[in-house]
Amino acid sequence: MKTTFLAVAALLLSVAASAQVAAKWDKIEGHRSKIKALRTVAVADSAEWEKVWREHDQNTPVPAVDWANESVVAVFLGETQNAGVKVQIVVQNDSIDANRLNVFYKEVRPATKPFAAAVVCQPYAIVKVRKAAVVAFESDGRVSTPVEKAKVPANPRDTTQVRVLLESLGGPSFDGR
């Protein structure tokens, strides 16, 4: 009885997973992947997509993509020992080059708790995007400014800080120097 129930439950889960992959999709994310190392991928054709998908998951059908208008970007974080880790992806059109997409990604960890599950997982996110000639990936990093501890002027119309910033960057001088 218990074996029959488990077999039926497994069958229902596999049918649900197949239906989800075959359905229209924009983003697929999860915690289990066969890709065990950090990897970013931009896929532009069906042969490469099938290869990447089979490397990631051999048991579910390859999700459909309209290759005439779309491509796929994926970020696999590799193996981690922490439960709840996710990949956050932001895709931006390049403001200078219309044929380029910029893909920014970061690892999002859950808030630390005194007793957190130590589970091996492989977080990933796969996103359908518009077709682009160039796709650039960038990991989220800290950005610093040249004047980190500048004082806020008492008078917001005071341009002293702007002058200091421009001069430190080698910009034009307001004094004609």
Residue 163 lies in a domain: no
Residue 18 lies in a domain: no
The DSSP element (H or E) to which 62 belongs, if any, is: none
- Residue 47, amino acid: A
- Dihedral sign for Cα 135, 46, 13, 37, please: negative
Please tell me the total count of domains within the chain: 1
Largest CA distance in the chain: 89
What is the rounded distance in angstroms from the CA atom of residue 89 to the CA atom of residue 148?
Answer: 28
* 0.75 surpassed by pTM: no
Residue 45 lies in a domain: yes
Strand, coil or helix: what is 109? coil
Strand, coil or helix: what is 134? strand
Residue 114 lies in a domain: yes
- What is the pLDDT, as a whole number, of residue 28? 96
Q: What spatial distance separates the first Cα and last Cα of the chain, rounded to whole Å?
A: 89
What is the rounded distance in angstroms from the CA atom of residue 42 to the CA atom of residue 75?
Answer: 9
Sheet with 134-139, strands from edge to edge, namely 86-93, 100-108, 134-139
Residue 45 is part of which domain span?
A: 25-139
C-alpha torsion 53→124→81→34, nearest 10: 0
Name the pairing type of β-strands 134-139 and 100-108.
parallel
Residue 152 lies in a domain: no
Residue 70 lies in a domain: yes
- What is the pLDDT, as a whole number, of residue 3? 53
Give 100-155 pLDDT, tens digit per residue.
Answer: 999 999 988 877 666 667 788 999 999 999 999 999 999 975 433 344 444 555 55
